[in-house]
Structure 1
Amino acid sequence: MTEHRSPLYFALRRFADNKAAVVSGLILGVIVLMALFAPLITPTGYADQAYLTSALAFPSAEHWMGVDDLGRDFFTRIVHGARVSLSIGFAAALFSVLVGIPLGAIAGYYGGWADWLVMRLIELFSVVPPLLAAMLLGALTNGGFVTIVVIAALFGWVQVCLLVRAQVKAFREKEFVRAAQALGASPGYIIRRHLIPNSISPIIVGFVLAIPLAMMLEASLSFLGIGVPPPVPSWGQMINVGMDFMYFYWHLAVFPTAALAITVLATTLLGDGLRDALDPTLKGR
């Protein structure tokens, strides 16, 4: 009976068997919902200094994560920081996919000089340390949301490109591609209508795995002071400020660090789970 099941059925079953990926997906889902509905679940605005008399207060029933040095509710800052990190992560991942898909498809389908050119471009971006390049570009442009997204996308497309290239190379000699060529279909048509749709699995995996890379890059730049400008909350920026108080007011460094670590770990494990579930070599298991 199982031989009549669709590939999606086997992928979902493999994903469900991966408990770490399932739990990570649930955790990430909760974080995304908190970020989306941040104004509804937080007592104040992220920049409101409504608790100056309680500045640096420790976590309590009134302030779940305490109060920062400027009298702002820290839970509010953490939740709104999730908005910034996830927005940058998703935006950078989207741009990475938009760049990586066409380059990977062209390299995989045509081979020859096109493949050589794309691989040299990949090698160029692979040898440049992303953080150092991001620091330079961030310093030149004074950081900001758009700058960080562009910087993250410049380095995030490489993995997507390699995944799509490998998939297209595996499919370009298949019978359905040969049939389309024999019927006179153009290379662009074959890539758009046949090869890219059959490469959707690595595209999804590449998209998900590009998110934590962009989030870590944003946190690093914000930690160094060239990321998202204050008072917009960023976990990296909050960790930087918390380092000055960590020996006495531990919550200012611990909570943003934990939020960043949990989100990045959950996204990475989810991406690994999707990669294993969508691996065509595991079909039918």
Structure 2
Amino acid sequence: MKEIWRRLKKSKTAMFGLVVLSIFIFSAVFAEFITPYNTAIKQNIRQRMQGPSTDHWFGTDGFGRDVFARVLHGSRRSLSIGFLATLASLSVGLLFGAAVGYYGGKFDAIVMRFMDILSAIPATLMALAIVAALGSNMTNLIIAIAIARIPAFVRIIRAAILGVVDLEYIEAAKAGGAGDLRIIIKHILPNIIGTLIVQTTMTTAQLIMRSASLSFLGLGIQAPEPEWGSLLSEAREFLRPAPYLMVFPGLAIVLSTLSLNLLGDGLRDALDPRLKS
């Protein structure tokens, strides 16, 4: 871990991504202490459409609600959806990817053909269909975007396991009487953890954008609850007279996904055993 941290610190872009992501996570966790949730949903028509000022850092929207509070509390939902959906798709992908990579055979062929079918369906279209069938709420949104990402995790984990499953130390573990589950958990997964970490950061960034897209289309988090995609949707009609309504939630999406991508690139280099300098 010390060696990985030393190599990671050498990348300025990765450290920038780590700092920005930490700020977003800190803001989401302590949003209620920074500004009460009530200010994000309470309407005040007298203060509607006011530009950024010392009283309202990001201005107010068409209902007089504080945009800073809405972006801040919206980060809770946007980041939660991204992280939880990634965790769900990673868990399922790890289960099937490890099984097909280790056992192979007919099980491998059946599972991978099913993953090919899922991959043939556009991810956004699949998410739209699932949300439309189940209903628009946070839980269904997580399920929808997680399902669409499972095939990618299965393929990556399967490929990583195929690269180590025939090595000598695996054969030695089998000869020593170790069970399949013990071999997978104790001997195989630790050797592909770097691939999983990098893929997880990249996937989280993608799923944050996908959840924002669905909310923008009205199939995600519903008003008046704040979420970055729904904030962009609400700002469309005020694009010319009040462009700041779209700028701030848009910047939040860009910076959060950029930080995750930069951190993922840095982790990929730091975890690469060929880069020891």
TM-score normalised to structure 1 length: 0.92
Structure 2 gaps of 5+ residues are none
**Could you list the per-position Cα deviations for residues 166-210 of structure 1 after superposition, in whole angstroms to 9, with x for gaps in the alignment?**
221121122221111112222222112211222221222222222
Which of 92, 96, 105 is 1:99 aligned to?
Answer: 92
Q: What does residue 267 of structure 1 align with?
A: 260
Q: What's the counterpart of residue 109 of structure 1?
A: 102
Q: Contact 1:156–1:213 (CA<8 Å) still a contact in 2?
A: no
Instruction: Name 1:241's counterpart in structure 2.
Output: 234
- Please give the per-residue CA displacement for 1:140-170, whole angstroms capped at 9, x wherever unaligned: 2221111111111112223322232222112
- For residues 276 and 39 of structure 1, the distance between their equivalents in structure 2, rounded to whole angstroms, comes to 37
Q: 2:21 aligned to 5, 28, 47, which one?
A: 28
Shift of 1:18: 1.6
Paired with 1:125 and 1:281, the residues of 2 have a C-alpha distance of 34
Give the corresponding residue for 1:121.
114
**1:174-189 alignment runs, 5 A limit:** 174-189=167-182
| Residue number among 45, 48, 52 corresponding to 1:55 in the alignment | 48
Q: Distance in 2 between matches of 1:109 and 1:77?
A: 47
1:277 aligns with 2:270: yes
The answer on whether the counterparts of 1:101 and 1:203 sit within 8 Å (CA) in structure 2 is: no
Superposed, 1:1-285 pairs within 5 Å as 8-42=1-35, 45=38, 46-49=40-43, 51-282=44-275, 284-285=276-277
Paired residue for 1:5? none
C-alpha change, 1:159 and 1:13, in structure 2 (3 Å) is farther
Per the alignment, in what secondary structure is the counterpart of residue 210 of structure 1?
helix
Q: Distance in 1 between matches of 2:272 and 2:156?
A: 12
SS at match of 1:231: coil
The structural deviation recorded for 1:57 is: 0.4
Distance in 2 separating the partners of 1:209 and 1:118: 24
**Per-residue CA distance 1:28-59 (angstroms, 9 max, x = gap):** 1001101111111115522112x321101000
Structure 1 stretches of 5 or more lacking a match? 1-7
Poorly superposed stretches of 4+, deviation over 6 Å? none
For 1:271 and 1:168, locate their aligned partners in 2 and report how far apart those are by CA, in whole Å: 21
Q: 1:114 to 1:146 in 2, by over 3 A?
A: same
Residue type of the alignment partner of 2:16: V
Indicate the larger mover: 185-194 or 83-92. 185-194
Quick one: structure 1 residues 26 and 19, their matched pair in 2 at CA, closer, same or farther if it must change by over 3 Å?
same
CA distance in 1 between counterparts of 2:8 and 2:59 reads 38
Which moves more between the two structures, 76-85 or 269-278? 269-278
Tell me the distance in 1 between the aligned counterparts of 2:267 and 2:199.
Answer: 10
Quick check: 2:126–2:148 contact (8 Å CA) kept in 1?
no
SS in structure 1 of the partner of residue 218 of structure 2: coil
The one-letter amino acid paired with 2:149 is G
Q: 3-state SS of the aligned residue for 1:171?
A: coil
**Shift in Å, 1:119:** 2.4
Whichever residue aligns with residue 225 of structure 2, its letter is V
Residues 1:213 and 1:245: Cα distance change in structure 2 (over 3 Å): same
Q: % of aligned pairs identical?
A: 37
CA-atom RMSD in angstroms = 1.5
Larger deviation: 112-121 or 243-252? 112-121
Residue-pair matches, total: 276
